[in-house]
Amino acid sequence: PYPVYEMLRKEEPVFRLMFPHGEFGWIITRYEDAVQILKDPRFSKDMVRRYGADNQSIFSNNMLFSDPPDHKRLRGLVQKAFTPKLVADMRSHIQDIADELLDNLPSQEKMNLIDDFAFPLPIIVISEILGVPLEDRDKFRIWSNTIIDASIAESAELFEQHAREFTDYLTAWFAKVRQDPGTDLISQLVIAEESGQQLTEQELLGVVSLLIIAGHETTVNLIGNGILALLEHPEQRELLINQPELIHNAIEEMLRYNGPVEFSTSRWALEDIEFRGERIAQGDLVIVALDSANRDEQQFKDADIFDITREKSSHLAFGKGIHLCLGAPLARLEGEIAVSTLLNRFPNIQLQADVNELEWRPGMNVRGVKEIPVQLK
């Protein structure tokens, strides 16, 4: 998509188009504009207000789709589980999970990097935080995939069906937890719900499904896209192997160069807004092309070059403003551990396919490859 973004940044940085379902919207591609829009309170994320309470899915009643003050309340309920300090304490456990996944590969010669490593790692971690059964992770994956790729029109029915199955599953799970709460995050939310009326049943569903979906659809592509970038740039890989302390920088560059979330979720204008010579009408949707902003030459020198020594990067892969990714510290740590462990154990890892033939996932939101076959030794 990058050449298209480059053209849009130059010629139509605020680009109007018709979205699925016949709504008008705008795509923002420049870095400077992206920051401005993501921080502007005249753009709402409240989907209940926009579409009405009867037109909501499992995925609507959560912090990502609400404005202050609900946003702050909903984010506050789970924030304490994702502070940098608490996340840092998970390091050795996440390391054990990464080692175990690599110990138990079906073959020590080759693997599919996505299914065998990049996918299970973040899922195991988020399932443990939430306290949901790990053995149901294949179901979570199917449900998350459909919900995230709902922008593809022909999946509308499937979306309904999977959203219903996901809702029923979680509702039954909450009932079980209410009987016998533990120390996991869902137990804490259930206790908060019962004691202080701080969140409704819909919101409980919304927040938990958001965390499960975020845990499934994002970090997997940080690991996948990141390793892919290293495999495509052998000199960068050598550099990282020789200077492992570059890993923090390398992860930031992976997030910038091929960010896992291609577009922000949509916002809508609460009033008519003049923006860079265009008139964004009240009610119009606006989407920020994060992966375009992250390649903007006005912000990043040699933006199309993958350089793990790049100085502090200020990329927008985790968004900006009040909806800045809650899971960023966790995602960074998972990414670091995954990439370092893989390179440590298999420094000669090679791609076993033509990079141009790899199949990218459909849908507008996440950017990631379906399968990455690699030779390990």
Residue whose C-beta lies closest to ligand HEM: 327
Taking CB under 6 A as the rule, does residue 251 contact ligand HEM? no
28 contact partners, CB below 8 Å, separation of at least 6? 13, 14, 15, 34, 37, 286, 287, 288, 289, 293
- CA angle 99/184/166 to nearest 5° reads 90
Minimum separation from the CB atom of position 293 to ligand HEM (A):
11
> Does 319 engage in binding with ligand HEM (CB under 6 A)?
yes
Inter-CA distances, 236 with 242, 281, 307, Å: 10, 45, 7
Which of 150, 326, 338, 369 is in the footprint of ligand HEM by CB under 6 A?
Answer: 326
- We find the least distance from the C-beta atom of residue 75 to ligand HEM, in angstroms, to be 5
Q: Does 337 bind ligand HEM (CB under 6 A)?
A: no
Report the C-alpha gap between 317 and 290 in whole angstroms. Answer: 6
DSSP 3-state helix, strand, coil percentages of the chain (rounded to 5)? Answer: 60, 10, 30
Helix (H, G, I), strand (E, B) or coil at 362: coil
For position 199 contacting ligand HEM by CB under 6 A, the verdict is: no
Is 256 one of the binding residues for ligand HEM (CB under 6 A)? no
Q: How far is the CB of 296 from ligand HEM (least distance, A)?
A: 16
Q: List 28's β-bridge partners, or say none.
A: 14, 288
Tell which residue, 26, 31, 3, has the closest CA to residue 15: 26
Binders of ligand HEM among 142-181, rule CB under 6 A?
none
Answer yes or no whether residue 63 interacts with ligand HEM by CB under 6 A.
Answer: yes
Shortest Cβ 43–ligand HEM spacing (Å): 10
Contact call for residue 31 and ligand HEM (CB under 6 A) = no
- Classify strands 278-280 and 273-275 as parallel, antiparallel or unpaired: antiparallel
210 touching ligand HEM, by CB under 6 A: yes
User: Which secondary-structure segment (H or E) carries 103?
Assistant: helix 91-103
* 260 binds ligand HEM per the rule CB under 6 A: yes
In the complex with ligand HEM, the residue whose CB is nearer, 212 or 240, is 212
Instruction: Report if residue 339 touches ligand HEM, rule: CB under 6 A.
Output: no
Largest CA distance in the chain: 59
Closest CA to 58 of 175, 164, 191: 164
Segment interacting with ligand HEM, rule: CB under 6 A, options 4-12, 112-120, 271-279, 318-326: 318-326
Residue ranges that bind ligand HEM, judged by CB under 6 A? 63-64, 75, 82, 122, 126, 210-211, 214-215, 218-219, 222, 259-261, 264-265, 290, 317-319, 323, 325-327, 330-331
